A and B are shown apart, each in its own frame.
Chain A
Amino acid sequence: MKKLFFKPESLTDTDHKYCSGCGHGIVHRLVAEVIDELGIREKTIGIAPVGCAVFAYDYWNFDVTEASHGRPPAVATGIKRFLPDRVVFTYQGDGDLAAIGMAETIHAANRGENITVIFINNAIYGMTTGQMAPTSLLGMKTTTSPFGRDAKLAGYPIRVGELLATLEGTTYLARCAVDSAKHVLEAKKAIKKAFEVQLAEKGYSLVEILSQCPPNWKMSVPESLEYVRKEMMTQFPLGVIKDKTKV
């Protein structure tokens, strides 16, 4: 008998603290599988965010450091410039990456830092129990938009991938989801491509992953998957947003 599907070496055996059905755990596994497949576990350094993924260093079986809220791209820049032979990636939520850390995000992308960013877009601040994020959808009810997000008051949901695509410094940008096995497999391909871009020293790569947050969306898990498909994917279409390696 052969092991067909199993926990990758780049994951520890530690139980995840995430809520039932949360997308974070799926993405952790995908990153770990890609790192195993590329044979780079010994030279990878991850940067965990502030947010529900704050304990990512307990789940990944390679070097992981922690940055203060929103600062992973700045920390990644320092590590990658000092240790250019390492594979350096950040793992960030939408509050971390697109609110408090938007300046770090844009400038690291604009400088074309040779790093990879894994961006978990769940349209909400998960860890702090459901405040509006820059990516919250119009009309979305959160604890800080109890009547639904109103564009007049809070602006529009930011499409991070498309925004960064305008910067010459970015090389590979894609958007995926983890609502179904098919999309999970596509997400893995995009994550692998993003790491390959870095290994080929081709510059900045980011994979945005639409991720369900059932408790803060006040939904059952099946309802949250429908929300990803019907609402999130309408505002944030899936696919490769930019691929400079192809031109």
Chain B
Amino acid sequence: MPKIIIAQSKCKGCELCILACPKKNIRLSQKINKKGFHYVEIIDPDKCNACGLCFQVCPDVAIEIWK
């Protein structure tokens, strides 16, 4: 199973990754980070297939993916 790590403190909640994820597996958290943004979170880690499309569009390089 792939491991996807999102650096919450770097995320600015732009939602580009939410739009890019083909599995619709990313959402905005109800919580906000120190920058004042609702950061993104993975909905179901088991559904991630490590395609990396979220990583490709992230302007803040806040996503890291292992497999």
A180 with B3: CB separation less than 8 A: no
0 or 1 for each of B26-49: is its CB under 8 Å from A? (1 = yes): 000000000001000000000000
Which residues of A are interface residues toward B (Cβ below 8 A)?
1-7, 11, 15-16, 18-26, 29, 178, 180-181, 184-185, 221-222, 225
Interface residues of B in 1-24 (CB under 8 A from A): 2-3, 9-10, 12-16, 19-20
Supplied contacts A6-B64, A15-B60, A26-B58, 15 more A-B pairs, CB within 8 Å = A1-B66, A1-B67, A2-B67, A3-B64, A3-B66, A5-B56, A5-B63, A5-B65, A6-B65, A18-B60, A21-B16, A26-B56, A181-B53, A184-B57, A221-B15
A5 with B57: CB separation less than 8 A: no
B contact residues, total (Cβ < 8 Å): 27
Residues from chain A with Cβ under 8 Å of B61 in the complex = 7, 11, 16, 25, 29
Contact A16/B59 with A3-B64, A6-B64, A222-B19 known, Cβ cut-off 8 Å:
yes
Residues from chain A with Cβ under 8 Å of B10 in the complex = 15
A20 with B65: CB separation less than 8 A: no
Residues from chain A with Cβ under 8 Å of B60 in the complex = 15-16, 18, 25
Residues from chain A with Cβ under 8 Å of B16 in the complex = 21, 221, 225
Contact A181/B15 with A1-B67, A2-B67, A4-B65 known, Cβ cut-off 8 Å:
no
Pick the residue among B9, B56, B65, B67 that contacts A181 (CB under 8 A).
B56
CA distance A22 to B61 in the complex (A): 12
Q: What distance in Å separates the Cβ of B10 from its nearest Cβ neighbour in chain A?
A: 6
Residues from chain A with Cβ under 8 Å of B65 in the complex = 3-6
Q: What distance in Å separates the Cβ of B65 from its nearest Cβ neighbour in chain A?
A: 4
B59 with A23: CB separation less than 8 A: yes
CA distance A5 to B1 in the complex (A): 15
B67's nearest neighbour on chain A, judged by CB, is: A4
Residues from chain B with Cβ under 8 Å of A21 in the complex = 12, 14-16, 59
